[in-house]
Each structure stands twice: as C-alpha cells, then as structure tokens.
Amino acid sequence: MSRALFVYATILAGAVILSGCGKGSAPDVAAKKETTFISIGTGGKTGVYFPTGGFLKDLINAKASTYHIRAKVESTNGSAYNVNAVMRGDFEFGIAQSDIQHNAYNGVGEWQDKPQADLRSVFSIHPELVSLISADDAGIESVRDLKGKRVNIGAPGSGNRRNAIDALESVGLNFETDIHVEQIKASDAPVKVQDRQIDAFFYTVGHPNGAIKEATAGKRKVHFVPITEIDKLLEKFPFYVTADIPLHQYPSATNTGSVSTFGVKATLVTSAAVADDIVYAMTKEVFENFDKFKTLHPAYGELTKGQMLEGLSAPVHPGAMKYYKEAGLKK
C-alpha cells in the first residue's frame, strides 16, 4: 500500500470512529434535562404567606428529579409587590390577596388604566380578615375613632395597605390627612404598639397570627376594633366578604363580644409567560398533598379542594387547568 493510500485510509477510519462516537453521545446529552430555577414571592416572615411559600418550595424541591425544577422563597412586602414582580418576570409565582389580583387584572386601583392582561390564577388558599387592633388606652372603639390617632396601615406595595385605606374611606377618613399614618410591615406593628409609638394597626391576615398574639400578650392591653360601616364598600368591591374575628384564638385580647369585619382570600398567581409544565407541577403537588397542606396552618383547617378554585379574578393558567381537568375539579 502506498503511503498516500495509507494516510487516506487512516483518516477515513478516524472519521468513522468519531462519527460513531457522536451518534452514541448525542442521546446522553439530550437526556440531561436542564434544571429550571423558580422564585415564589410571599410576605413577612411572621405571617401566613411566608410558611405557605416554604411549603410550596419544599413540595417542588422534593420532586426535583421528576420535574427538573428547583424553587426558592422570597420574603416581600406582600400582595401588590408580588404581582408586580411576577409581571416583571422576577418571580414565577406570588401570593396575593384576591382584591389585589382583581385590581391588577382589571386595571383599577394602583393599576388604573394599566391592566395586567398576562396575570394568571393558579388557586386560592385561605380567607384573610381585615383586622384592626388598638391599645385599650387609645380610646378607639370604631374606625371613626382613628381620626387624629397614630395608625399603621401597612407597607407600600401590600394588600394590607389597600384594605386599610378602603376601611378608612368607608367612614369618610383620608389616610393622608385624618390620621397620623405609619406605613411599615404589619408584622412589625405589634412592637410599635407596645412601645407606644402607635395607637392602632391594620393587619389583613389568616387567623391565628403570631404577630397579633404578640400584640395581645404585651403589657399594654389591646383589643380588636369592629369594622362595620361597610355596606357601600361591599357593593363597590364584590371580592370583599363579611366575617367575624375568631376571638377564641386570642384569649389575651380584652374584647368581651363578637367583632365583625370584612375580608378577602389569599391566592397564588403567576404569569402567562410561565411554562405550562411548571404551573402544572406546582398545582399537582399541592392538590395531591392536600391533607398535609391543610395542617400547615390553623387557617387552612377547614379548606376544601373546591374552595381553592374560588375567588379567582384572573384567568386560570393552562398548566393549572390541565391538572384540574385531570382531577375532575373542572370540566
């Protein structure tokens, strides 16, 4: 064999070998599906949102090898912040009050004329009651009595703040001019009451709540204030419902009778831009671990699967809908 022919044969054989290696390795590369990282926006660390987000994270991460998804939780200022972060693509999921979800999708409130058309519902979680807690020595027995008082309405970007403003406006009070307003996280307010830096605070939350228990157990005695003059509010905002504060969960509060108020529902929202398989995985894991989910917080104790599909203003995400149809929860 000539030298030229030998070289040509060697090159040809090498090419065949390399070609074979390429064919063998391609499926191996394709089989390694990349992990998708997702974030869940919650709320303050002493409220219900944060541990709920932690539970969702744990469910997804426990099935990382199945779904190829890894989740993390972010503590935030709450509902409105979470909606905006989801719409920016900073979070894949966020927990938000039903009224905030409604306002964002329909372009009202702080989203006036700027509807968030790509906002999507996943499921609702639990009822949240607008709770007004006041120091006994502040002379506050109704929302009207807040005039001239030092009141925390909640942090900017929170649903808590929106609910507080609605409660004030229902009796003709302007939060900017009629009260000495504080705008800190609701979970930080109990300490302010006990330190006599504020007289009262609003907290939209599922009960029982650790921060409110802290407020009622302090040296400065406190009580829940009824929020009753809300007929027009209920007519204007159909997502609000009336409810009573479960006083038996706060034995240290000085109330002697029932306390009426209004409330919303906590919901999980996402964006139309989030992939169907990610939302499907989240939905499936929650509903197929439903009994465990209900033990997460006393506020979840009476939940039913059907109730978790109520109070959703934005369209249900296709990934969630796929599971609901498979499970017979939706037709």
Instruction: Give the count of beta carbons closer than 10 Å to the beta carbon of residue 56.
Output: 24
Domain around 210: 128-264
Residues 226 and 177 in one domain: yes
| Residue 11 covered by a domain | no
Q: Which of 247, 264, 281 is the C-terminal boundary of a domain?
A: 264
pLDDT in tens, 247-257: 999 999 999 88
Give the list of residues 6+ apart from residue 231 with CB closer than 8 angstroms, or none. none
- Contact between 230 and 240 under an 8 Å Cβ cutoff? The reply is yes
Cα 199 from Cα 181, distance rounded (Å): 10
For residue 257, tell me if it sits in a domain. yes
Residue 21 in domain: no
98 within domain boundaries: yes
Q: How many domains does the chain have?
A: 2
What is the per-residue pLDDT across 61-119, written as a single tens digit (0 to 9) for each? 999 999 999 999 999 999 999 999 999 999 999 999 999 999 999 999 889 999 999 99
Q: Is residue 317 part of a domain?
A: yes
Residues 245 and 136 in one domain: yes
| Residue 96, both tokens | 């938000």
Residues 258 and 140 in one domain: yes
44 close to 204: Cβ distance less than 8 angstroms: no
Is residue 52, in this structure, part of any structural domain at all?
Answer: yes
In a domain, 9, yes or no: no
Q: Are residues 138 and 223 both part of a single domain?
A: yes
254 and 149 co-located in one domain: yes
Each residue of 4-24: pLDDT tens digit? 444 444 444 444 444 444 444
**Last-in-domain residue among 264, 285, 318:** 264
More confident residue, 127 or 6: 127
Residues 6+ apart with CB under 8 A from 156: 77, 183
Q: pLDDT digits over 280-320, tens only?
A: 999 999 999 999 999 998 878 878 999 899 888 899 999 99
Of the three residues 264, 287, 310, the one that is the final residue of a domain is 264
| Same domain for 194 and 136 | yes
* CATH of residue 218: 3.40.190.10
Q: 205 with 189, same domain?
A: yes
Q: What is the pLDDT of residues 143-199, one digit of tens each?
A: 999 999 999 999 998 889 999 999 999 999 999 999 999 999 999 999 999 999 999
**Same-domain status, 152 and 236:** yes
- Sign of CA pseudo-dihedral 154, 157, 162, 165: positive
Query: What value does the mean pLDDT take over residues 126-149?
Result: 96
135 lies in the same domain as 260: yes
Q: Are strands 222-224 and 180-182 parallel, antiparallel or unpaired?
A: unpaired
Q: Are residues 286 and 158 in the same domain?
A: no
**Binning pLDDT at 50, 70 and 90, where does residue 32 land?**
low
Ramachandran quadrant class, 230 (left: phi over 0; alpha: psi -120 to 50; beta: rest): alpha
In a domain, 30, yes or no: no
Domain match, 139 and 257 both = yes
Question: What is the residue-averaged pLDDT of the chain?
Answer: 89
Q: Do 260 and 155 belong to one domain?
A: yes
